[in-house]
């Protein structure tokens, strides 16, 4: 079985981006800038932000983390986003979710300048994805697609099943898989909580993407022999971090599978770095702006 080593692939991507940033910094006169807004004391969010900070430092992105109290008012938070939107040294703005109660996360995400929306969640960028236009893509599904491409696993002409329909992963991933192009062109089915016998869809799929957040709920007997299984779910359990797949039984029948941890997670951060560099080039006029 081919182990989809997201950690290794992400390291290669970061090295590529570091070289690109070194070349561009002299031409543009500054490094790329990423601002991360972290409100409250959610422990997983704090860990994730630290990982982003390390990745930025490694490749030459200037990272600025704005750590805010949990009781910050929504107007204050929106005002902070406004101030970042107009700063010329900031190419990307990321609002770390979840936000404290009482703060409308959708309002915050929509307040970000779409050209600085490096998470790819703004309606403008989601709309461009749906229409097949260039733009900043949601990082996790983009990381999945990049992983498949670099492992020479093409879903073109194949049956693909996505378990989960979130706006962050399931929906955009389904669109990416079904888009025109040699690295996509799959026939996609999206299964969710109201799908009767989702396991049957999985058994007939060549590619299965797990994005439910239900640890070890997908077993090997639910997977077609020789299928590719990409596990996007991650949960904290008594046994540590676990994905949606029972990895031992799934890997016994799959041709390729991604582990948790070490699979899609590192790819998500690598794609965030890539989006920041993409925005940096657009703001400098090296590439065309998408908004």
Q: Which residues are catalytic?
A: 52, 96, 119
Helical packing angle, 139-150 and 6-28, nearest 10°: 110
Structure tokens at 174: 């389904």
């Amino acid at each position: 079985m081919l182990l989809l080593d997201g950690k290794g692939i992400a390291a290669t991507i970061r090295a590529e981006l570091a070289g690109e940033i070194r070349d561009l910094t002299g031409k543009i006169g500054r490094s790329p800038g990423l601002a991360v807004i972290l409100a409250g004391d959610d422990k997983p969010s704090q860990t994730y932000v630290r990982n982003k900070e390390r990745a930025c430092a490694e490749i030459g992105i200037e990272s600025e983390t704005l750590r805010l109290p949990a009781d910050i008012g929504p107007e204050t938070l929106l005002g902070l986003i406004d101030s970042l939107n107009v700063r010329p040294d900031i190419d990307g703005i990321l609002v770390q979710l979840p936000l404290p109660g009482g703060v409308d996360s959708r309002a915050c995400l929509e307040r970000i300048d779409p050209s600085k929306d490096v998470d790819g969640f703004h309606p403008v960028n989601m709309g461009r994805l749906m229409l097949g236009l260039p733009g900043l893509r949601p990082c996790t599904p983009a990381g999945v697609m990049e992983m498949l491409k670099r492992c020479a696993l093409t879903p073109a002409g194949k049956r693909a099943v996505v378990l989960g329909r979130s706006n962050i992963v399931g929906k955009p991933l389904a669109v990416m898989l079904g888009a025109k192009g040699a690295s996509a062109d799959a026939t996609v089915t999206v299964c969710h909580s109201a799908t009767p016998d989702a396991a049957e869809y999985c058994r007939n799929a060549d590619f299965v993407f797990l994005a439910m957040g239900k640890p070890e709920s997908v077993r090997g007997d639910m997977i077609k022999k020789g299928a590719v299984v990409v596990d996007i779910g991650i949960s904290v359990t008594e046994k540590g971090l676990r994905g949606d797949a029972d990895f031992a039984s799934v890997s016994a029948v799959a041709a390729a599978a991604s582990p948790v941890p070490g699979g899609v997670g590192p790819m998500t951060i690598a794609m965030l770095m890539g989006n920041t560099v993409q925005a940096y080039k657009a703001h400098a006029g090296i590439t065309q702006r998408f908004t």
